[in-house]
Amino acid sequence: MASGPREWHRSSRRSTGKPLPTTMIASPALRIADMSFAWPTQAAPCLDIAAFELASGERVFLHGPSGSGKSTLLALLGGVALPQRGNIEVLGHELSKLSASARDALRADHVGFLFQQFNLLPWLPALDNVLLPCAFSARRREQTNSAGSPLREAERLLAQLDLDRSLWHQSAGSLSVGQQQRVAAARALIGRPEIVIADEPTSALDAERQQAFVDLLLQETAAAGAALIFVSHDHRLAGHFDRSVALEAISRGTTGMSEKSA
């Protein structure tokens, strides 16, 4: 994918917490209509989706083989890439009508991302990694008031996600894969974003740990009332979700992919 996780972080400009103009947040959480996208080197679209919706609070399992365009779709939903045709709405806001800075603010305030490689800052303690979204978003910082403070909420999430307290102040790079995964999940969930997008977050775990982690993630998103898109090629996990969607079933352009559209 051309716009990788590092670019997503570079484009996460600080948000003031002020609402975006004009549109009221309403259901569905995500809507795609007549959307087509191709990378510059591709002659034909790699994604061509007539319609897709994610309801507020809905948990969807999105699957497809490697190269089917899953990561490309997540870049489009995050506003990192824009389609050549059609509409993508996030919480009622049509992304193509927003400036780059407004898309950054929308993403920082309302969307939690859990990346396949976790994308933690390795030198930063686990607890400080979890707090990063609150540094970029006043809204997510304010949403932690029910816990007392961003720090209290970060500690609550790490405890709920079963990360031992002795590890909270260790650098993220010194943690095991499973421990880093929990830190990344807490970072995605802090500040109660309305949408959580998880890109193959369990790919490095064995079956038993996969099941336990999915249960914890679903529990926390349900408590926050967040909609969840969980991307994976592991069909064993599908039964945990409200709905299972095959990308090739909703996209007319998922054949002949380049490696960009993993």
Distance CA 107, CA 150 (A): 19
Predicted confidence (pLDDT) at residue 5 exceeds the cutoff of 60:
no
At residue 262, the pLDDT reads: 41
Predicted confidence (pLDDT) at residue 136 exceeds the cutoff of 60:
yes
* Residue 201: band (very low, low, confident or very high) from pLDDT cuts 50, 70, 90: confident
| pLDDT, tens only, 109-123 | 999 999 888 999 999
Torsion angle in degrees (nearest 10) through CA of 203, 206, 212, 215:
30
Please tell me whether residue 113 adopts helix, strand or coil conformation.
strand
* Residue 202: band (very low, low, confident or very high) from pLDDT cuts 50, 70, 90: confident
Q: Which residue has the higher pLDDT, 127 or 71?
A: 127
- Where residue 69 sits, what CATH number does that domain have? 3.40.50.300
Write down the pTM of the prediction. Answer: 0.84
Distance CA 162, CA 123 (A): 22
Q: Which residue has the higher pLDDT, 241 or 208?
A: 241
| pLDDT, tens only, 44-103 | 899 999 999 999 999 999 998 887 889 899 999 999 999 999 999 999 999 999 999 999
Q: What percent of the chain has pLDDT over 90?
A: 63
Distance CA 172, CA 170 (A): 6
118: domain range? 5-261
Predicted confidence (pLDDT) at residue 253 exceeds the cutoff of 60:
yes
- Count other C-beta atoms under 10 Å from residue 211's C-beta: 15
160: left (phi over 0), alpha (psi -120 to 50) or beta: alpha
Distance CA 98, CA 83 (A): 13
At residue 6, the pLDDT reads: 44
What is the distance of C-alpha 181 from the center of its chain? 14
Strand partners, 61: 230, 244
At residue 160, the pLDDT reads: 87
At residue 254, the pLDDT reads: 52
Q: Which residue has the higher pLDDT, 120 or 6?
A: 120
Q: Where would I find the beta strands (DSSP E) of the chain?
A: 30-37, 47-54, 59-63, 85-90, 93-94, 111-114, 195-199, 227-231, 243-246
The total of structural domains in the chain comes to 1
Sign of the CA dihedral 133, 134, 140, 145?
positive
* Residue 228: band (very low, low, confident or very high) from pLDDT cuts 50, 70, 90: very high
Burial class (CB in 10 A: 0-12, 13-18, 19+), 165: exposed
Q: Do 111 and 195 contact (CB within 8 A), yes or no?
A: yes
Contacts 24+ apart (CB under 8 A), 239-246: 240/59, 240/61, 240/214, 240/215, 241/59, 241/60, 241/61, 242/58, 242/59, 242/60, 243/58, 243/59, 243/60, 243/61, 244/60, 244/61, 244/63, 245/52, 245/60, 245/61, 245/62, 245/63, 246/63, 246/64
**Overall average pLDDT of the 135-155 stretch:** 93
Strand partners, 228: 59, 196
At residue 17, the pLDDT reads: 52
**Overall average pLDDT of the 5-27 stretch:** 49
- Count other C-beta atoms under 10 Å from residue 181's C-beta: 24
